[in-house]
Amino acid sequence: MIPVQGFDGQRVAVLGLGRSGLATARALRAGGAEALCWDDGAAAREVAAGEGFVVQDPCAEGALEGVAALITSPGIPHLYPKPHRAIAAAWAAGVPVDNDVGLFFRSLALSDWGDLDEPPKVVAVTGSNGKSTTSALIAHVLEAAGRPVQLAGNIGRGVLDIDPPGEGGVVVLELSSYQIDLARALTPDIAVFTNLSPDHLDRHGGMGGYFAAKARLFTMGGPDRAVIGVDEDEGRYLANQLAEGPGDMRLIRVSAQKIAGPGWDLVARKGWLSEMRKGRQVASIDLRQVAGLPGAHNHQNAACAYGVARALGLSPKEIEAGFHSFEGLPHRSQRVAEINGVSFVNDSKATNVDAAVKALGAFTRIRWICGGLEKEGGMSALAPAAGGVVKAYVIGREAAAFALHLGDVPHEVCGDMATAVARAAAEAEPGDTVLLAPAAASFDQYDSFEHRGRDFMEQVARLQG
């Protein structure tokens, strides 16, 4: 646990008592603060009370008097589509609002770090797609090379729930736009931006607000080094803002296009990862042989992870060895089974159009299971990207409406996962891939994308008897 610093002897309100909320309350208590806990769900309040925390509605009259801060969970809206009533109450009372990520960055460094030969470092990864795989891959490569590392944030443990890092330790954080947007302190040593595509637009008031939330990770604290995907305008903008000149080696640019500038560039193209410095290639890795990272989108993730590992002092050979032992993450291009020459792949994490497009590009002869709760940002990119699709099998409560976005792609409205898997398996031929890449959120039928992915895997397991 990371004890929260700066609130010793003070009262701090905690809003939202899920995984991060309870961890925050415990970390506040460990730092000498009194945590006043609240959740709109009665069951969560009972859990907090059972741990001895004071349960108090921050909207009650006088509840915020003498409160030093309100710490909110990332899933609770603080601005768009409208502020939660407790956050609005904090504004009215002049109480600062923060989240666990902000507390983490203000509390991590300890007084004895000055005595360490190699103080700990924090790597923070954000972006629309690939941040989970990139974060996990960074942690895996470091661990395989013998470096002490912890994975936390939007993946792994809560940011305040990790152990205090020691000599040479590295903390790898996956951070969503929700987590970055409200944090009052953001000071990673290395920050990574994978890419940007429309997502969570209702929460951020549009693409501009969404990008602004991501950009705070780079513009607020100023990381010592940045690894930036530059295949979208937003990434190019960030890279330009951070670099002091064309040859600034604190910036590592990542692209799927040919670039050979005067600085430090990583190109993931046609299955190869090339490291370029000052226009010359200094190392390369054949990513086509890395089973846990299939497809061009995962090659971009590998390039981002490579950049971080190189910045932390690892050699290309150490990184390549780590790549080959990486098995991938559940629900992200996860190979579930092969039955009678047909591969079954679970990419339930492809919850938006851009992620689904990248998943489709990783395979040929695809039996595509898609559909769910549509997100803002449009679906126009789906049909053009489906050139390798033999047939689509559409699920979701509004499956028929979703199917309209597929254009001339052959499709069948199945409605539920069991029907879709059964139909795809029955029609698949050896060499085909049955791919779950929904291009939509899961909440019309499931609690989460993990729940949806598990259902897919269970249906595939039934095919095996």
- C-alpha 262 chain-centroid distance: 31
Contacts of 211 (CB under 8 A, 6+ apart): 196, 234
List alpha helices for 275-366, DSSP H.
296-311, 316-324, 353-360
Task: Tell me the Ramachandran region of residue 372: left when phi exceeds 0, alpha when psi lies from -120 to 50, beta otherwise.
Answer: left
CA 15, CA 36: separation in Å to the nearest integer?
9
Peptide bond into 81 cis (omega under 30): yes
CA triple 245-246-252, angle to 5 deg: 100
CA 322, CA 315: separation in Å to the nearest integer?
11
Q: Decide if 34 contacts 10 (C-beta within 8 A).
A: yes
Asked if residue 127 belongs to a known ligand binding site, the reply is yes
Asked if residue 133 belongs to a known ligand binding site, the reply is yes
**HEC letters along 330-393:** CCCCEEEEEECCEEEEECCCCCCHHHHHHHHCCCCCEEEEECCECCCCCCCCCHHHCCCEEEEE
- C-alpha 64 chain-centroid distance: 33
CA 375, CA 198: separation in Å to the nearest integer?
9
Asked if residue 132 belongs to a known ligand binding site, the reply is yes
Asked if residue 315 belongs to a known ligand binding site, the reply is no
Of 346, 348, 357, give the one whose Cα is nearest residue 384.
Answer: 357
17-18-20-25 Cα dihedral, nearest 10 degrees: 30
Q: Quick check: helix, strand or coil at residue 192?
A: strand
Question: Residues in the chain, how many?
Answer: 465
Asked if residue 240 belongs to a known ligand binding site, the reply is no
Asked if residue 131 belongs to a known ligand binding site, the reply is yes
Of 352, 411, 345, give the one whose Cα is nearest residue 380.
Answer: 352
User: What amino acid occupies position 296?
Assistant: A
Q: Where are the beta strands (DSSP E) in 106-263?
A: 121-126, 149-153, 170-174, 190-193, 225-229, 251-255
Q: Of all helices (H) and strands (E), which one includes residue 460?
A: helix 449-463
Asked if residue 448 belongs to a known ligand binding site, the reply is no
Q: Decide if 286 contacts 272 (C-beta within 8 A).
A: yes
CA triple 199-202-203, angle to 5 deg: 85
Instruction: Provide the annotated binding site.
Output: 127-133
Instruction: Provide the annotated binding site for ATP.
Output: 127-133
